[in-house]
Amino acid sequence: MLPLNVVDGYGDSNINLLHCHLEEDMVRQILAIPAPNDDMHEDRPMWRWNHNRVCTISSAFHKIGEREWNLKDKKWNMAWDYDGPQRLKQYIWIVLRNRLMTNVERTRCGLSTDPMSGLDRDAYHWRLIFGIIIWRLWKQRNAFVFNGQPSSTAMKNLRQRWHSPKMGVAKLNTDGAADPRTMEASSGGLIRDGCGHWITGFHRNIRRFSAFQAEIWALYNGLLLAWNSNIKDVEAEIDNKEVVNTLNGIPHMYETTLIRRIRELSHTKREANEAADALAHINSNTCLGLMVFQNPPDEVRHILVHEETDLV
């Protein structure tokens, strides 16, 4: 059985034929790889420990030192996922690394001779001040959570909405999802016209993939669906900035088979990508492969109505 013999009429792997010859686990591994076609290039050696497949000193250092600070520890996500100013993200990183420049740390580095702080010298007053600070923080948090009162007049409403493309251009929104415990992954996306009207959408159960890979699969399936639907002028939008930066900055010679089929990307906030996120999380009843929706499924109808209203 040749690889090209297992490709169906849509350029995807023929799942039924694969199940006739291979075990389930092997089928899942094959489905995680783009089906072969005549436009595929020759295989190239790549660096597996970097998203852009380029060997760098930084990626090699992280691979060597990951045992010391455990890259997979979820606490590092506090700094990585923080969507705020870079200086605050750097501060969180320093705290997690136990490198905050306290007086004890300054003394250890030879920058000070006294490890005590000024508050330690007046411990009685510090105990009083500390209690007041904690109480004020708790009070402000409750006022914000239950009464919607911001703790600062400088706070702004940062909610992003979906923006329609220019007339004559379709917009593709995609998203990927993965369970870090089981590595069960899925992807979804939809294509809309300049008025926000549904053109088509899809959901794909991928299995055994990371969230990063699921995002790439979602984008590829969306672009392929647009091409097969005779939609040639399409704007692609996803909410994972890491994927956008990786694919836009990857050298051509290091492109993987999947990335090679993707050309141009733009980034959007998660709030403006709700419909694609809902499609990625649809319960597909453990069915492998691609599902195409000519009409919006129930899971996304209310989101589409809300976003079309915003356009008016």
Check pLDDT > 50 for residue 204: yes
Distance CA 256, CA 57 (A): 21
Q: Helix 211-228 and helix 241-249: axis angle, to 10°?
A: 70
pLDDT higher than 50, residue 264: no
Contacts of the segment 126-130: beta carbons below 8 A, 24+ positions apart: none
Please give the pLDDT value at position 311: 60
Q: What pLDDT is attached to residue 284?
A: 54
Beta strands in the chain (DSSP E): 170-178, 185-192, 198-205, 234-238, 266-267, 289-293
Classified as helix, coil or strand, 279 is: helix
Residue 119's pLDDT is what?
Answer: 54
In angstroms, the CA 171 to CA 165 distance is 6
When the pLDDT of each residue in the chain is averaged and rounded to a whole number, the result is: 76
Non-local CB neighbours of 78 within 8 Å, separated by 6+ positions: 92, 96
Please name the amino acid found at residue 305. V
pLDDT tens digit sequence for 9-58: 666 777 788 888 888 888 877 777 777 766 666 667 778 777 777 888 88
Question: What is the structure's pLDDT at 312?
Answer: 54
pLDDT tier at 172 (50, 70, 90 boundaries)?
Answer: very high
Q: How confident is the model at residue 190 (pLDDT cuts 50, 70, 90)?
A: very high
Q: How many other CB atoms are there within 10 angstroms of residue 298's CB atom? A: 8
CA distances to 2, 14, 41, 240 from 36, in Å: 10, 12, 10, 27
Sign of CA dihedral 55, 38, 169, 163: negative
Give the separation between CA 215 and CA 266, rounded to whole angstroms. Answer: 13
Task: Sort 312 into a burial class: Cβ within 10 Å, 0-12 / 13-18 / 19+.
Answer: exposed
Distance separating alpha carbons of residues 244 and 246, to the nearest angstrom: 5
The region, left, alpha or beta by phi > 0 then psi within -120 to 50, assigned to residue 207 is left
The one-letter amino acid code at 131 reads: G
Residue 213: predicted pLDDT: 81
Under 8 Å between Cβ of 265 and 236: yes
Domain range summary for the chain, segments of one domain joined by +: 1-40, 170-311
Give which of 268, 280, 279 is closest to 209, Cα–Cα: 280
Average pLDDT of the segment spanning 63-87: 74
Query: 31 or 234, which is more confident?
Result: 234
Please state, for a pLDDT cut of 70, what percent of the chain lies above it: 72
Residue 59 has pLDDT above 60, yes or no: yes
pLDDT band, very low/low/confident/very high, at 279 (cuts 50, 70, 90): confident
- Contact 206/187 with Cβ under 8 angstroms? yes
What share of the chain in percent tops pLDDT 90? 4
Residue 121: pLDDT over 60: no
Tell me how far CA of residue 131 lies from CA of 125, 128, 140, 272, in angstroms. Answer: 10, 5, 14, 41
CATH of domain 170-311: 3.30.420.10
Name the residue among 228, 247, 229 with its Cα closest to residue 238: 247
For residue 233, pLDDT beyond 80: yes
pTM of the model: 0.52
**Strand locations in 184-272 (E):** 185-192, 198-205, 234-238, 266-267
Q: Among 176-180, 239-243, 262-266, whose mean pLDDT is lowest?
A: 262-266
Mean pLDDT confidence for 173-202: 86
pLDDT at residue number 262:
56
78-92, 189-203, 224-238, 274-288, range with the lowest pLDDT:
274-288
- The closest alpha carbon to 268, from 169, 197, 171, belongs to 171
Task: Report pLDDT for 310.
Answer: 65
Look at residue 109 and tell me whether its pLDDT is greater than 60.
yes
**H/E run at residue 97:** none
Query: Is the pLDDT reported for residue 274 higher than 70?
Result: yes
pLDDT digits (tens, 9 = 90+) for 142-164: 888 887 776 654 545 545 678 88
Across the range 76-84, mean pLDDT stands at: 79
Per the CB < 8 A criterion, the answer to whether 41 and 67 are in contact is no
